[in-house]
Amino acid sequence: MNFHSFSFRIFPVVFATCLIGLASHSIAQSLGSAGAFMRMGIGARAGSMGDAYVAAASGPEAIYWNPAALAISPAWQVALTQRRYSFDRNFTFAGTTMPLGANHALGLGWTGFRTGGIEARQTNTTNPDDYFSDDENAFALMWGYHVNSWLYAGSGVKLVHQNLFNESAFGYSASLGFLIKPTPMLSFGGHWQDFISNYRWSSGRQEKFPKTFMLGMGLQFSPQYLVTVDYHYSSSQNVAQQNNGAFRVGSELRLVRVLPLRLGYSQNAFNTGLGFEIPVATSLVRLDYNFAVQDGLNKDGHALSLTVEFGRVKRSAQREGDSDFASRSGDNEMSSFSMLSSTNTDSLPLEASDAIKPTLPSTKKDENFGKQYVTATAKKVVVRSGPGASFKGLGMLRTGGRYEVARQQGEWYQIKFAGNKSGWVNREQIKRVVAKKLRVN
């Protein structure tokens, strides 16, 4: 291995190590205030990366981390996370995200936290007088919008309900988020969580959720290396917890494309985890595991997440938009495992990397016609103004429709549609067809 190759591989690791040093100065966040379970984070992938996830959020997990990132979701997704802590504490999240047209997306989520077997005593006795539980639930509705080629915006509301012993509480909050992608390897994100809130108990007492502001940066050094850095600040009504700022650092390494390894640092402790991705027919299934050395309540915790993405043609773990920034879905990888074969004349290959930049295969039959065509295979194919998921959507293709190819750039093809319009589509959502059988759209 030459020096240049070695330095390229080791630099992201050294960079992440230096950032972890900065994170050692973090201050514990306000987990003791109203709605504390809503600030525990969701998703095993995010937890494995130290909750440094604002600029790397994707899919239903973006409901919590950054609603602006919902607009990048290429297809309908559902996710489920189960996290177990000591002392009979259980944390559950279930969510879904749905693209709405070319530039909008909707996210729906439920977060639940339950602590059972809490001992109740009226006096200082060995045996408890009674047992009770604490049940907390939050229901979120979030919206993301693709503003232009480099900017995304999002907002949403949450409704919160809690039952504690013989009291109950109900509240609401609102959040705002943004995502900036100036280059393919760099992303900045921000999320102002619970900037408006109210929480009222059945006894008449009122509280507000702490306002949490999260800023994040993501650096995609290569398709195998991802480093994220966040700073989270949370206000608190507790005087002892007024300055609740915390640095968080995360990293993801893909030595094997379907098996990402992750390491994070948060609140003076390391987190770790891994993932496994399985293409199944037209869907992609991702299983993520997280072991948190410290969960914020001073005990070890384990989390398991299952994410399923529907409505996409069979492919590798790479998804639309990863060529712009891999952490959008957490599924980017070097695709040299499936180089483009020049003998494939029936369909476009399903796996390739922008670094390979293959050209559209051609045969003598197609050359006689002088043109090449593709057909849409996914249910919703967004046509964009440029070769990348960060470009603005121009419209949708009809499933089964046939479109003339103008040219190719990496994973993207420029096509003609809707008369004389032209736009770009991802190769994973189309396949090639024979020209003489076509009725051009």
| pLDDT tens by residue, 384-430 | 888 887 788 888 887 777 888 888 887 888 998 877 788 999 888 88
Domain 3-328 fold is Porin (2.40.160)
| pLDDT tens by residue, 324-356 | 443 344 434 333 333 223 333 333 333 333 333
Least confident of 72-81, 138-147, 242-251: 242-251
Most confident of 12-16, 18-22, 134-138, 366-370: 134-138
pLDDT of residue 145: 95
CA angle, corner 372, sides to 367 and 376, nearest 5? 155
- Of 185, 135, 141, nearest in space to 164 by CA: 135
Question: Where are the CATH 2.40.160.60 domain residues in the chain?
Answer: 3-328
**DSSP state letter for 360:** P
* Cβ atoms 278, 288 nearer than 8 A: no
Q: Does residue 414 or residue 293 have the better pLDDT?
A: 414
End-to-end CA distance of the chain: 51
* Cβ atoms 321, 354 nearer than 8 A: no
Question: Where are the CATH 2.30.30.40 domain residues in the chain?
Answer: 341-437
Position 239 pLDDT exceeds 70? no
pTM: 0.65
The domain 341-437 having CATH identifier 1.10.230.10: the answer here is no
Position 314 pLDDT exceeds 60? no
Hey, is 428 helix, strand or coil? helix
66 CB-contact burial (10 Å; exposed 0-12 / middle 13-18 / buried 19+): buried
